[in-house]
Amino acid sequence: KKEAALYQSVLITGASSGIGEECAVFLAHKGFRVFAAARRLDKLKELAGAVGAGRITALAMDVTDEASIAAAMKTIAEDGAPLYGLVNNAGASSMGPLEKLPADEWRQVFETNVFGLAAVTRAVLPQMREAGRGRIVNIGSLTGRIASPFQGVYAASKHAVEGLSDSLRRELVPYGVKVSVVRPGAINTPFGAHEAEMLERYETDAPYGDQVTTFKAWFERQHPAAPGPSVVAEAVHHALTAEHPKSRYVAPPKMAYAL
């Protein structure tokens, strides 16, 4: 058997930036064999090179594209060991008044955050079920419990992650596969800056302009002051390794007051 097979292996989607990247590095340093997946392969290769020692394998994967999921699964299978963990982290957002948002933009949110998550999960399940063990960690959001204005479709997608995870957790009990949701609050990654840019489009638009400007100013104050993604990586690590992982983690934990 290859040496890699001695490690617990984990697939992380959206590992080219922010929370996913932090999880990849954190878990690699904890001894996991990490498969880091995203669309930007160059960024993943850079990350794998920086961590070194063959701990991270870069995988091109668009979670909205079944063929690219299948190709990545083939590479993982060639490694020889069944996957122990899946961190469904890849995410997209769409911010602005519902009345104004382009439909293709908000459809992409569900394609990524819900259907993409379901498709990757479906692809890993046979090997986890057959191994009789596995951990699935879905990155939800506090927005999956309570929503601010101008993020309706994103909030809906993260509520969907909660429902999907609850159902799956019960469905997989007989097979030893455990499912947790990690709900980050505001975390300082490129995600927030991109969301602020999306809001900017509507600042001069009647009738929502002033309301968007006020909300955007509040939103922008949250993100730079927010903690870095390591708080999420710690929660993900716990969900992967605890004997009895919680069904839900809030990261940082003090944000739980918001719920």
How far, in Å, CA of 136 to CA of 86, rounded? 5
Q: Which amino acid is at 254?
A: K
Residue among 13, 57, 121, 180 that touches ligand NDP (CB under 6 A): 13
89 binds ligand NDP (CB under 6 A): yes
Q: In what order do the strands lie in the sheet with 248-251?
A: 56-60, 33-38, 9-13, 85-88, 134-139, 177-184, 248-251
3-state secondary structure of 243: coil
Interface map 124-143 toward ligand NDP (x if CB under 6 A): ---------------x-x--
> What's the min distance (Å) between Cβ of 67 and ligand NDP?
13
Establish whether 154 is a catalytic residue.
yes
Q: Which is nearer to ligand NDP, 20 or 134 (CB)?
A: 20
At 15 the three-state DSSP class reads coil
Among residues 27, 186, 199, 233, the one that binds ligand NDP under rule CB under 6 A: 186
Contact between 221 and ligand NDP (CB under 6 A)?
A: no
Considering the candidates 7, 84, 154, 202, report the single residue annotated as catalytic.
154
**Among 4, 30, 39, 200, which residue interacts with ligand NDP (rule: CB under 6 A)?**
39
Among 8, 9, 57, 64, binds ligand NDP (CB under 6 A): 64
| CA-CA-CA-CA dihedral for 63, 182, 236, 130, to nearest 10 | -60
Could you say whether residue 97 binds ligand NDP (CB under 6 A)?
A: no
| Residues 223, 193 contacting (CB under 8 angstroms) | yes
- Select from 7, 9, 10, 20 the one that contacts ligand NDP (CB under 6 A): 20
Element (H or E) spanning 177, and its range? strand 177-184
Q: Burial-class residue 146 by CB neighbours within 10 Å (0-12, 13-18, 19+).
A: exposed
Contact residues for ligand NDP (CB under 6 A)? Answer: 13-20, 38-40, 61-64, 89-92, 112, 116, 139, 141, 184, 186-187, 189-192
Catalytic residue IDs: 154
